[in-house]
Structure 1
Amino acid sequence: MDEMTKYIIFKLQNQSFGVDVQQIISIERIQEITEVPRTSEFIKGVTHIRGETTPVVDLRERLLMEQKDYTDSSRILVVQIKDMQIGLIVDAATEVKDINQELIKPAPSYVGGVKDTFVSGVANLEDGLLIILDLETIINLEETNELQEVID
């Protein structure tokens, strides 16, 4: 029997990425972000989302992609990583899609300019390659501690 999983599909630099919809709390428009001094470059600061102080990470910068200004289509994916609510800034959130697990293959060492450490797999879909991100590896232990300090 085909096992389907729902993914939120989003764009970074014209490349499609996906994360399991169960890891997403909400998708928000870009809002005011308060900078926090002496944090990693990719940590843009904090904002209040649904009554909770939420650290915000620029996913482009985290994945070492070229930076660009935020637009009207830029979004904050509010996700749960290691018992922490974190906002991930993406270029656009495009759709929710059911993907057959049989279509997802192991990632090559570099795919779409992203290290395989961050990638749980790739799916070759009719509209192009989809890179499935592993959110648990996007933020390492040291960075998790840094994000926790930003909240506290």
Structure 2
Amino acid sequence: MDERTVNEELQLVVFTLATEEYALPITKVQEINRLVPITKLPQTPAFMEGIINLRGRIIPVIDLRKRFSLVLKEHTDDTRIIIVEIQGQTLGVIVDAVTEVIRLQSDSIEPPPQAFAIDSKYIQGVGKLDSRLIILLDIDRIFSKNEEKILQDMND
């Protein structure tokens, strides 16, 4: 068996939310931007911040702190919007800060423990890098079907 398929190297974009480090596969990330003015929309889920105009494209934006029911805090100069692709939809995700891009061997990733503060369906695994633990998000499973429909309607 080919060893590369057994121990694949993942390239991840690492960001912080509250006191934890999270990561997304770099293949899901289109770009990383500073926080820009966000236009609020009525009657959207609480975690939906609104929409932004990104070079002529209207992009829905969510706040991951709100999505994960974390304590809210003021945005800072480090706050970023990560533009991601989720099931064919382009979306902005607000995070506290983007810290680095890392390479992580797949064998250093373990399944998420069952007792997690956020719903473990959002979590692909927990990566170990030196003495750090990095939570790998499954961005494709972050929304319910109803929420996906709302996002799709915003993109149409």
TM-score (norm 1): 0.95
- List gaps (5 residues or longer) in structure 1: none
What is the CA–CA distance in structure 2 between the aligned matches of 1:59 and 1:50, rounded to whole Å? 23
* Equivalent of 2:55 in 47, 50, 53: 50
What residue number does 2:146 align with?
142
What is the CA–CA distance in structure 1 between the aligned matches of 2:78 and 2:26, rounded to whole Å? 19
The AA in structure 2 aligned to 1:43 is M
TM-score (norm 2): 0.92
Structure 1 stretches of at least 4 aligned residues deviating more than 6 Å after TM superposition: none
What is the CA–CA distance in structure 1 between the aligned matches of 2:54 and 2:131, rounded to whole Å? 33
- List gaps (5 residues or longer) in structure 2: none
What residue number does 1:120 align with?
124
Cα shift at 1:121: 0.3
* Equivalent of 1:100 in 102, 105, 117: 105
Cα shift at 1:109: 1.8
Between the two proteins, the alignment pairs up a number of residues equal to 151
Cα shift at 1:69: 1.1
What is the CA–CA distance in structure 2 between the aligned matches of 1:81 and 1:3, rounded to whole Å? 23
What is the CA–CA distance in structure 1 between the aligned matches of 2:114 and 2:78, rounded to whole Å? 30
Larger Rg: 2
Cα shift at 1:149: 2.3
What is the CA–CA distance in structure 2 between the aligned matches of 1:22 and 1:140, rounded to whole Å? 22
